[in-house]
């Protein structure tokens, strides 16, 4: 009996030591920094460039959907244009993520950051301090001209002081970072210098994948790491309720042109454009309908034509809106 107790004692000591080592490792390693390149892209004072950046921020790139106070959500959706002072908060298992102040305030905003640091955040998901960003901004393959346009618009805003709490990672989030599951993600190929804005499939592909993040939501992914686990654009990603969702959860639909499973398979171009112009149906839908309703007709035509060109994928999403506590199977 004594020998068994001794074994249990030492087993407990070893396990405790291993847990302590793991906790220390995670807490130290999660703060590591990365040496990603600083893109040689500089802000412009050209009014046309700034206008393009503003259009992207309040339109297809939907920066304003996160980088604003939560109590301004409805006004932003209806077209209010205000400095991007940050404040949106998202609570998911890896932590509490808070969108920062993007105005040029020197203390609480981006005023002390270089253009290269801002471009690096967009291109490589690396913050000004070298830490990795979680994959909320899929702009790695955005054209040089559009990255410059966004930075130029951000610089053109009035500087607004807005002290915000930093993003706080849970132990899970720290572990994900410590073990390299979240790390800088660079461009797939050399990003284009510019992209011709027209109603072609090519431009629609650019908008869907490099600007509007259609793929990021309409593809199943692991919400702990952001890794894709399903076929692109086939839907099925469940999004838990948050304060704006009124006890509803949402599942992204399959938007490939599958004849029975694709939600838009039978839509014509006019139906697609009219749906985007109509805006939000559910108050808390994670789709940034307000921003997307302001996309140009040329852009919407390009997006429609690209989506219709996708390979049809069989993936039936039975329900896209779930009541509180309701499962996908129910």
- CA neighbor of 277 nearest in space, from 297, 307, 254: 297
Cα(150)–Cα(129) distance, integer angstroms = 20
Token pair listed for 254: 């399959």
Q: What's the pLDDT score for residue 54?
A: 98
Q: Which of 28-37, 114-123, 134-143, 270-279 has the lowest mean pLDDT?
A: 28-37
Q: How much is the pTM?
A: 0.89
Cα(192)–Cα(260) distance, integer angstroms = 36
End-to-end CA distance of the chain: 51
CA atoms within 13 A on the CB side of 307: 32
Neighbouring-strand partners of residue 322: 249
Phi and psi dihedrals of 231, rounded to 5? -75, 140
What is the C-alpha radius of gyration for the chain, rounded to an integer number of angstroms? 22
Predicted confidence (pLDDT) per residue in 184-227, tens digit: 888 989 999 999 999 999 999 999 999 999 999 999 988 767 78
CA 129 to chain centre: 20
Phi and psi dihedrals of 195, rounded to 5? -130, 130
Predicted confidence (pLDDT) per residue in 114-172, tens digit: 999 999 999 999 999 998 888 888 899 999 999 999 999 999 999 999 999 998 888 88
How would you classify the pairing of strands 89-92 and 95-98? antiparallel
Cα(79)–Cα(287) distance, integer angstroms = 16
């Amino acid at each position: 009996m004594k020998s068994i107790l001794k074994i249990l004692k030492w087993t407990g000591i070893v396990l405790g030591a291993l847990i302590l080592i793991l906790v220390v490792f995670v807490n130290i390693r999660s703060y590591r920094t990365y040496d990603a390149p600083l893109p040689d892209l500089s802000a412009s004072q050209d009014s046309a460039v700034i206008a393009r950046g503003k259009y992207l921020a309040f339109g297809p790139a939907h920066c304003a959907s996160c980088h604003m106070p939560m109590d301004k959500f409805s006004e932003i959706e209806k077209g209010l244009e205000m400095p991007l002072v940050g404040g949106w908060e998202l609570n998911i298992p890896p932590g509490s993520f808070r969108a920062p102040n993007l105005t040029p305030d020197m203390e609480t905003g981006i005023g002390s950051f270089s253009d290269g640091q801002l471009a690096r955040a967009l291109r490589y998901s690396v913050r000004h301090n070298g830490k990795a960003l979680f994959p909320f901004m899929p702009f790695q393959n955005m054209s040089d001209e559009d990255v410059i346009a966004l930075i130029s618009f951000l610089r053109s805003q009035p500087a607004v002081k807005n002290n915000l709490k930093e993003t706080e990672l849970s132990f899970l989030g720290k572990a994900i970072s410590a073990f390299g599951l979240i790390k800088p993600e660079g461009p797939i190929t050399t990003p284009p210098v510019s992209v011709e804005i027209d109603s072609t499939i090519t431009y629609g592909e650019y908008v869907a994948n490099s600007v509007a993040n259609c793929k990021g939501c309409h593809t199943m992914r692991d919400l702990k790491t952001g890794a894709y686990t399903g076929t692109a654009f086939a839907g099925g990603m469940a999004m838990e309720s948050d304060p704006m969702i009124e006890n509803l959860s949402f599942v992204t639909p399959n938007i490939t042109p599958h004849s029975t499973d694709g939600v838009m398979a039978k839509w014509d171009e006019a139906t697609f454009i009219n749906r985007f112009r109509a805006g939000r149906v559910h108050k808390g839908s994670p789709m940034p309908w307000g921003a997307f309703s302001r996309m140009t007709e040329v852009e919407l035509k390009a997006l429609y034509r690209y989506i219709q060109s996708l390979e049809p994928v069989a993936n039936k999403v039975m329900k896209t809106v779930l009541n509180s506590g309701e499962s996908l199977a129910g």
